[in-house]
């Protein structure tokens, strides 16, 4: 038993040293990022570099973990992080914290177990490795579970944004001024993304509608594309207030229909949990009678 513990401790120590050396040795530069700087996607590459900027020590740790992690973020995860106004550095900082918690808890349990029984055991080390893996993927699971709620909040925020744009148009503001003024009225994540896109278009001296369409594609919000198409009609002198009111009414009705369907599906899914207590009580009441019939002498 003692020999096995010594071997396990040596393996863990060696693995930790290898991990530290691998983290400290600089990785070779990637060819794709270098080519993106000179290609047509340099703007996108610059935005991705800005996404992993860090200010606090925990976020710097998240940036380091993001650069060393062999598992890349999926496009869906990037989209949900943008809709939640959460940086990649903060997301990976959460991963580091949860992994540390998953490693420390088994060690504490092992120490308590060894103190109560007086005999050390090897299983806390195995549980610590498993806890690191589980803790690393806990933020991914939480982000995935919040996907539908995040998307629903984004659609609701967009409907409010369209209402604000309509009010700005009724106040005789131009299309660009209406978009900028409406986006500046709130700090919810979608408003921040729209405000950033409009500011980027202004600094690049381009029309804001292309940036809005690109943002709608990245966030999978086709309703934002409709807003850009309608507002672009302002250049031809079309009246936009009535069109915006009609469109926001259609979008709101469609959103309410989706929410009602989801609520109905959730209610139907809860019926199975409502029948389980009834089945248990029925078995309790029928159990005595069945036993009497089966074992009656």
| pLDDT, tens only, 95-105 | 888 888 888 88
Please give the pLDDT value at position 43.
44
Please give the pLDDT value at position 48.
45
The Cα 68–Cα 62 span in angstroms is 10
The Cα 196–Cα 215 span in angstroms is 10
Q: What is the pLDDT of residues 156-194, one digit of tens each?
A: 888 888 888 888 888 888 888 888 898 898 888 889 999
Q: How many CA atoms lie within 13 A of 239 on its CB side?
A: 5
Identify which of 213, 210, 214, 154 has the alpha carbon closest to the alpha carbon of residue 186.
154
Q: Quick one: DSSP state of residue 56?
A: S
Average pLDDT over residues 217-240: 77
Whole-Å CA distances, 205 to 202, 209, 234, 271? 5, 12, 18, 57
CB 178 within 8 A of CB 189: no
Helices (H), the chain: 2-24, 31-38, 42-51, 57-68, 75-83, 88-117, 123-145, 147-170, 175-183, 189-203, 208-219, 222-232, 241-294
């Amino acid at each position: 038993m003692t020999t096995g513990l010594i071997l396990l401790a040596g393996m863990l120590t060696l693995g930790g040293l290898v991990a530290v050396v691998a983290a400290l040795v600089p990785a070779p530069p990637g060819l794709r990022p270098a080519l993106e700087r000179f290609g047509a996607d340099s703007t996108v590459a610059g935005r991705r570099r800005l996404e992993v900027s860090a200010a606090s020590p925990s976020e710097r740790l998240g940036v380091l973990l993001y650069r060393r992690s062999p598992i890349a973020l999926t496009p869906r995860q990037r989209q949900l992080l943008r809709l939640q106004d959460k940086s990649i550095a903060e997301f990976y900082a959460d991963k580091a914290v949860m992994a540390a918690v998953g490693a420390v808890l088994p060690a504490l349990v092992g120490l308590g177990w060894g103190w109560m029984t007086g005999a050390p055991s090897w299983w806390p080390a195995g549980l610590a490795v498993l806890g690191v893996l589980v803790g690393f993927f806990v933020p991914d699971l939480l982000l995935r579970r919040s996907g539908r709620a995040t998307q629903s909040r984004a659609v609701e925020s967009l409907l409010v944004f369209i209402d604000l744009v309509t009010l700005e148009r009724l106040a005789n503001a131009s299309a660009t001024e209406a978009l900028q003024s409406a986006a500046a009225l709130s700090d919810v994540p979608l408003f921040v993304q729209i405000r950033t896109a409009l500011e980027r278009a202004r600094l690049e001296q381009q029309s804001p509608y292309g940036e809005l369409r690109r943002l709608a594609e990245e966030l999978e919000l086709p309703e934002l594309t409709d807003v850009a198409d309608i507002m672009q009609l302002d250049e031809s002198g079309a009246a936009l207030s009535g069109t915006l009111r009609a469109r926001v009414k259609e979008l709101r009705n469609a959103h309410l229909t989706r929410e009602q369907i989801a609520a109905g599906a959730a209610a139907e899914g809860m019926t199975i949990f409502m029948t389980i207590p009834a089945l248990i009580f029925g078995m309790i009441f029928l159990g005595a009678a069945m036993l009497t019939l089966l074992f009656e002498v």
